Amino acid sequence: MKKVITYGTFDLLHKGHINIIKKAKELGDYLIVGVTSEDYDFNRGKLNVQQSLMERINNVKSLGIADEIIIEEYFGQKINDIKKYDIDIFAIGSDWLGKFDYLKEYCDVVYIERTKGISSTELRDKYNSIVKLGIVGYGRIANRMMSELPFISGVTPEAVFGRNEEKAELFANKHELNIYSSNYDDFLEAVDAIYIATPHKSHFEYAKQAILKKKHVLCEKPMTLSVSETKYLFELAHKNNVVLQEAIKTAYAPAFIKLVNIAKSGIIGQIKNVNATFTKLIEDKTLREYNHQMGGGSITELISYPLCAIVKLLGLNYNDVMINSIIDDKTNVDILSTINIIYENAIATANVGIGVKTESDLRIGGTKGYIYVPAPWWKTEYFEIRAEDPNKIQKFFTKYDGEGLRYEISDFINTINNHKACSYKLKDEESIFFAEIIEKAMLSLY
């Protein structure tokens, strides 16, 4: 007898799930289906699971396809299950292509082609939670987002838009999307929400057109390069009753949220100084980051992260801003910038660079001690509370999974499904604050 095993969360069981289970059963004589537990889903970074473990098990059982259902509870269990149940074939969806090749040591591994264009109308009516997502752009960040989406329940990537249809088609084929288009109106008709992952200066028009068609928008940072455009988009989103959020992944990361809450609890006294640095060396000067006409430079590329820490810790009401930069002679973009923001009773410093490398840490100074977050602090998972006495260091650890993009998309989907105007994790006025500082910096430099 040939035994087959497959695994999944199977949240809001749909056609895609059913096809995987059916095709897995066709590979052998006896099918075991592993349904992931809540703890395992959380530990592996699977977010937004809507249904309980028992609901999901009962849904799989009701199909009458599986010969046996087990619970997957921990990392590494697959190897043990394969041995325990004498499995011949491990089957999984093709969106995990290559990820489970390590199991070939124990059995055959088959990647089943994922179902494209899953119809979610019935599920949306019942749960109001399956969102068809369109990707605007097909570059580096868009590809990273696609790698994160399998960890989010309640969203299905449906389409990609790009001005170059050939590149859009390649992206769609790579990620098994049902639709690709170089026509923005046609693209918008096929989706409920979009993720904008194109160069900075294109954000405003793409977001505006989507909002006017009542599509929810998650827009890469910076949302725009001006206060007026950012305010306009938020006003338009509220008027059209759609969600508009800025995709600064740090703002949505569990450890960063924990860090801010602890810092503001009074444990280090009154916060008087925030010093946030983010630098990286981008050596290829043909890239967008060095293109002045496309809004390149250290400030536009990186300043949103330090500003996120500053606004969360010190607020919106500052007195003055001072900007100092080093400009590259050949590209006319800033390769290193320091922005000092002066508050009534505190000073914040944001350091960013794409052509100069320095220690990219975060330090939060208080009247009773300070918090130190090592690089890369924007992917916070560890930080220390330090006092005058070096023996009194407190250490904190929190998970940060994958690229971190799953946290922002998870919050975006939750905000949509809960019919909220905005997320508390990154408020409209905070995104407007980012645009205001960026605009001041651009006017100062150019």
Mean pLDDT by 10-residue block, N- to C-terminus, for the chain (446 residues)? 95 88 96 91 77 92 95 90 95 90 95 67 50 96 94 91 96 94 97 97 98 98 97 98 97 93 93 98 91 90 98 97 94 96 98 96 97 95 89 88 92 89 91 97 85
Whole-number Å distance between alpha carbons of 308 and 288:
23
Whole-number Å distance between alpha carbons of 333 and 326:
8
Whole-number Å distance between alpha carbons of 297 and 432:
20
Q: 446: which residues sit within 8 A by CB, 6+ positions away?
A: none
Both structure tokens of 204: 């405003």
Burial class (CB in 10 A: 0-12, 13-18, 19+), 88: middle
Q: 305: which residues sit within 8 A by CB, 6+ positions away?
A: 248, 250, 276, 278, 378
Phi, psi of 16 (to 5 degrees): -60, -45
- In Å, what is the CA distance from 313 to each residue of 227, 251, 309, 320, 371? 21, 12, 6, 17, 12
Instruction: Describe the strand order of the beta sheet including 244-247 as a list of residue ranges.
Output: 179-181, 155-161, 131-136, 193-196, 216-220, 244-247
Residue type for position 396: F
* Residues facing 30 on adjacent strands: 3
Closest to 356 measured CA to CA, from 278, 287, 301, 303 = 278
Residue 41 in contact with residue 8, Cβ under 8 Å?
no
**Which single residue is written with the structure tokens 């009516």?**
125
Whole-number Å distance between alpha carbons of 152 and 49:
8
Whole-number Å distance between alpha carbons of 12 and 120:
10
Radius of gyration, alpha carbons of the chain: 24
Residue 118 is predicted with a pLDDT of: 52
Whole-number Å distance between alpha carbons of 437 and 299:
10
Its sign, for the CA torsion 250, 136, 142, 131, is: positive
Neighbours of 326 (CB within 10 A): 13
Residue 39 is predicted with a pLDDT of: 81
Whole-number Å distance between alpha carbons of 441 and 437:
6
Residue 48 is predicted with a pLDDT of: 76
35 three-class SS: strand
Whole-number Å distance between alpha carbons of 196 and 161:
10
Residue 119 is predicted with a pLDDT of: 41
Residue 120 is predicted with a pLDDT of: 40
Where do the domains of the chain lie? 3-112, 121-247, 254-399
Residue 129 is predicted with a pLDDT of: 61
Both structure tokens of 193: 């929400």
Q: 311: which residues sit within 8 A by CB, 6+ positions away?
A: 430, 433, 434
- CATH architecture under which domain 121-247 falls: 3-Layer(aba) Sandwich (3.40)
Closest to 393 measured CA to CA, from 385, 403, 404 = 385
Whole-number Å distance between alpha carbons of 15 and 21:
10
Residue 115 is predicted with a pLDDT of: 67
Residue 361 in contact with residue 374, Cβ under 8 Å?
yes
CATH number 3.40.50.720 is the correct assignment for the domain at 3-112: no
Closest to 354 measured CA to CA, from 375, 335, 382, 326 = 335
Both structure tokens of 340: 């000092």
Whole-number Å distance between alpha carbons of 274 and 341:
10
Whole-number Å distance between alpha carbons of 114 and 174:
12
Q: Do domains 3-112 and 254-399 have the same CATH topology?
A: no
Tell the CATH superfamily of the 254-399 domain. Answer: Dihydrodipicolinate Reductase; domain 2 (3.30.360.10)
